[in-house]
Structure 1
């Protein structure tokens, strides 16, 4: 009888302190450095997104903002995907950011790569550390020469961009310009090629960055030129009209809820004063992006349509 009682006591003890489903779900998500490891999975992921944006906000100085040509109250938004590996780090080669501006891509990748070490997620079956992928939307505005994070309403986001007709079967590769991006540049070029911009005296070429959204129906809207006044107002209006005339995209759905959602996409291109609008070159699929030195602003459109190694130095954009 005493042996039976002892066995029952040990069984009760084991069941009482064994991991419950709530704890298992919690450990299946990584924990940001210094955060509560006992929080539920949803809270942990929300905390990771919040602190990732705050990390970028804190580390970005006015010099970089000036290099991008951003002014007070300008805003930028883009999607980010990165891996939190089983050792708690964020490997550089896992970070996916494609804003269309190489300097911005590289800088934001460095910011993600410099995140403090995470407590890795645990595999619920083996209880061993595992890789975990984070998908999030990053939005910032310029306030007092600093980036300020904009925290959107709570919703599921995806790093999969909207797709144009003819690009549905393309496999995503963050080292290459996408099929849809190439089609967008071709469309914009065709719409603007007959219009010559008026540039400030002594300036031969400017870089123009445009944000636009793709709504739930796949239609382009909320078109915004981030830095106005680089070209004449008439040409700015032609830019907006060119983006408004883009063909409909395939609507993007949330990865979890399947609810159609808005997607904001930044684009950048050059306008040349002594010629017409500069066409974005069409690259072969096997040609990869050249990262280039960090102090050089990458332009996906080269003056003479040569290779991707054509760069424009910062001083051209400093006015």
Structure 2
């Protein structure tokens, strides 16, 4: 791949353009918002000058509802030899592409499973897709050269390709991405009118649960509108589960001992089903789920402390699998939770204590 056009210079489009430009691809940028395209160009993502000949690949980075129209216009112009889009849903755009009579031989849908709470070119990063899954959804007649062009795009962006059917993709992302977005927003919304004294007690649990609630609402309306029926179905199932949990909690609060025992069983079942589902999430690098031991270390909030902690762990020969920080309220300190292989936990604890660290 020597040349590409990116149509749509938001977070995903600009990040792809930055990654391609960094690897020597000449990238041309287009956006209905010319200021956004110029901003992306100023970041080194490419040029706003139009290509003089058809490029190798056009990457359409617009909301799902616009993919068909933008693809039709680009193909009518003869903009590229191959085309892909990076919308977060695939079946609706695929239907639009067919209905508009687009050339589906030289088109393939795709979706990089990466993002951020912030949107726009200023949020873009050349390494946004490194190590992330990038789904490819060929049409029935997508040719091999177009598939290879998409695979090269994924490789240049440092991602891992996965080929799926468009409808299967949409069902999957409804479960693992779109529904969690709605749930996170609903939970975070409960904080809006909460007492300040309650909000000040917020810790890692509520922060983790509501992190994605900071996302752009307008962007998510576009995404959800393209997959609304599937998400609604999952939310209906979740509502039924919530009803069961509420009934169990009501029984757990009852004065009657038999009801309390019944409620405890219902609530425990909910929590155990959560354990089982959580255990199915792939582990490191997509490997089977792995159980780690957590070593909690008290750390001061000053420059160099994290580096010193990691250096001490490294000198002990311990590989840190994951890291989480719990900040103390009202104190310049917190706990760093280091996830390590179970066989390494005791060695790490001994090494850190020997270097003066306080463990919880």
**TM-score, normalising length: structure 2:** 0.23
- Structure of higher RCO (CA pairs closer than 8 Å, 6+ residues apart): 1
**TM-score, normalising length: structure 1:** 0.25
